[in-house]
Amino acid sequence: MGSERTRTLLSAATVHVTGRPLSLYATSVLRIGYGLLYLVFLLREFPHRHEIWGPGSPWTPALAAQLSDQTGWYSFLLLSDDRAYFELCYGTALVASALFMLGWRTRVTSLVFAVVVTSFHSRSIFMTDGGDNLVLLMSLYLVLTACGRRWSLDARRERRKAVRAAGAAARAKRPGRTARQLRDARVTLTTVVHNCGVFVIAAQVCFLYGSAGLYKVQGSYWADGTALHYVLHLELFQPWPALSQLLDHYPLAIAAISYLTVLTQVAFPFVLFGRLKYPVLALLLALHVGIAVVLGLPVFSGAMIIADAVFLPDRFYTSLPRLGRRTARRLGVRLPRPRGEARHGAVPPQVEPETPGSALR
């Protein structure tokens, strides 16, 4: 009886992993979010690029090379000390981030984006605020996923290709048995790799929250609710000193936020499979927005907010257009009619055609 149940569970898990790619919209949100975040990060630091990553940085190329030999991280910025070469690399990073965000040839640009983030991170690992650590990990994980299948230029191109191929499908010669088997094997392999990548991303976020919460539990400042009081008095984390002083005048609120932070982070991995995850995600969103504004860590907060998007189901993202249209109608704003809606009424939604060549971009 037990062995039969085990076989049934293993069979169901195999079908779940190999049957279809999961969280396509969520991974697309991660692609757009991290591409945009890193693009804004590079543009924000453009006036200071030479002091952070250039040959004239206090963290010299020699020091970076020594650290790279110890850590094993690669950086193409260390190939030359020439200023023109650095400017070329910086421009390449900007273009790669923009193309990755737009989802153009995602299988290639995702790899280029990962190399860019890795190179800039390992070049001056101590010159940034540490918020790019998670961006580095996610850029590597997203290479494995089908993050270009939704809301991307690749998806738009595949839709047009499917429409053109629909008319010639009847005249096309059916592929042979070997060709079909190779195509099915490729689709299955890319589906498994994508689903494993999504699992790794989710596990990484759970580990971050769980370890952070358990680490806070061990500290006496978090236990007595005074940790935020001391954080608000650190000059390094005071972009708005008046705001920090104002918040420090409410010790009861600071204690409540401290306890709520620890509770939310510790409970996060245990509420993912129930409805409690939605209020927990909302609390984490408010927490990260507060960190970005009060403590001046926008890159870290943005990276965490984008990572949390992997836990929202695809039906949430597909319902956003309907919610936007409904809100616009309530506000009296007239929007253009959707593509799937006829001039004299709505037609049933059509299933998006997929071609064998579109497997997991």
123-142 average pLDDT score: 88
Handedness of CA 28, 32, 35, 38 (dihedral sign): negative
Q: Tokens standing for 209?
A: 């929250």
Spatial separation of the C-alpha atoms in residues 30 and 292, rounded to whole Å: 19
Spatial distance between the Cα atoms of 279 and 20, rounded to a whole number of angstroms: 29
Q: Compute the average pLDDT of residues 64-79.
A: 88
Which helix (H) or strand (E) covers residue 342, if one does? strand 341-342
The stretch 95-99 carries a mean pLDDT of 97
In the chain, what are the helix, strand and coil shares in percent, each to the nearest 5? 70, 0, 25
- What pLDDT, in 10s, does the model give residues 226-271? 888 888 888 888 889 999 899 989 989 999 999 999 999 998 988 8
Rounded mean pLDDT of 338-345? 46
pLDDT value for 282? 93
Tokens at residue 311, please? Answer: 């836990």
358 pLDDT above the threshold of 50: no
**CA distances in angstroms from 258 to 223, 239, 253, 278, 297, listed in the order given:** 8, 20, 9, 20, 18
**Average of pLDDT values for 64-68?**
88
- Looking at residue 361, its pLDDT comes to 45
Give the pLDDT band of residue 329 (cuts 50, 70, 90).
Answer: confident
The CB density around residue 44, as the number of other CB atoms within 10 Å, is: 11
pLDDT band at 355 (very low <50, low <70, confident <90, very high): very low
Query: Quick one: pLDDT band at residue 359, thresholds 50, 70, 90?
Result: very low
Burial letters for 301-328: b for 16+ Cβ neighbours within 10 Å, e otherwise? bbbbbbbbbbbbeeeebeeeeeeeeeee
CB 141 within 8 A of CB 197: yes
Higher pLDDT, 106 or 358: 106
The Cα 34–Cα 31 span in angstroms is: 6
| pLDDT value, residue 265 | 92
Indicate if the pLDDT at residue 342 is higher than 80.
no
SS3 (DSSP) at 346: strand
Q: Per-residue pLDDT for 1 more than 60?
A: no
**Residue 248: CB partners within 8 Å, gap ≥ 6?**
229, 232, 233, 254
pTM: 0.86
Q: Give mean pLDDT, residues 71-84.
A: 89
- Confidence bin at 347 (pLDDT 50/70/90): very low
Write down the pLDDT at residue 193: 93
